A = this chain, B = another copy of it.
Amino acid sequence: MGTDTHISEHRAADHLISVFEAQIRSGALAEGDMLPPEREIVQTYGVSRTVVREAVLALSNKGLVQARPRHRPVVVKPGYDTALNVVQSIVGQLLDQPGGIRNLFDLRIMMEAALVREAALKATKEDIQRLKTALMANEAATGNSEAFFRTDTAFHGVLFEIPNNPVLPFIHRAYTTWLAPQWTQMPREPQRNQRNFQAHKRVYEAILHRDPDLAEKELRAHLAAAWDQVCITFEGL
Q: Footprint of B on A, CB under 8 Å?
A: 3-6, 8-11, 25, 50, 53-54, 57-58, 61-63, 66, 68-70, 78-80, 82-83, 85-90, 92-94, 96-97, 99, 103-104, 106-107, 110-111, 113-115, 118, 163, 165-168, 170
Is there an interface contact between A70 and B168, defined as CB atoms closer than 8 Å?
no
Residues of B within 8 A of A94 (CB): 80, 83, 167, 170
List chain B residues, Cβ under 8 A from A110: 111, 114-115, 118, 163
Give the distance to chain B from A57, nearest Cβ to Cβ, in Å.
6
Q: Which 3 A-B pairs have the closest CB atoms?
A: A61-B61, A114-B114, A9-B69
* A93 and B97 form a contact (CB under 8 A): no
In the assembled complex, how far is the CB of residue A90 from the closest CB belonging to chain B, in whole angstroms?
A: 5
Residues of B within 8 A of A166 (CB): 97, 99, 103
Contact partners of A62 in chain B: CB under 8 A: 61, 89
Evaluate contact between B165 and A103: CB separation under 8 angstroms.
yes
CB of A75, distance to nearest CB on chain B (Å): 14
Flag if B78 contacts A83 (CB, 8 Å): no
CA of A99 to CA of B164, assembled, Å: 11
Q: A90-B83, A106-B165, A165-B106 are in contact. Are A8 and B68 (CB under 8 A)?
A: yes
- Which B residues lie within 8 Å of A107 (CB)? 165, 167-168
Instruction: Write out the residue numbers on chain B whose beta carbons fall within 8 Å of the beta carbon of A88.
Output: 3
Task: Write the chain B residue with the least CB distance to A9.
Answer: B69
Across the two chains, which residue of chain B brings its CB closest to A166? B103
Query: CA separation between A94 and B78, bound complex, in Å?
Result: 8
Given the complex, which residues of B lie within 8 Å of A89, measured CB to CB? 3-4, 62, 86
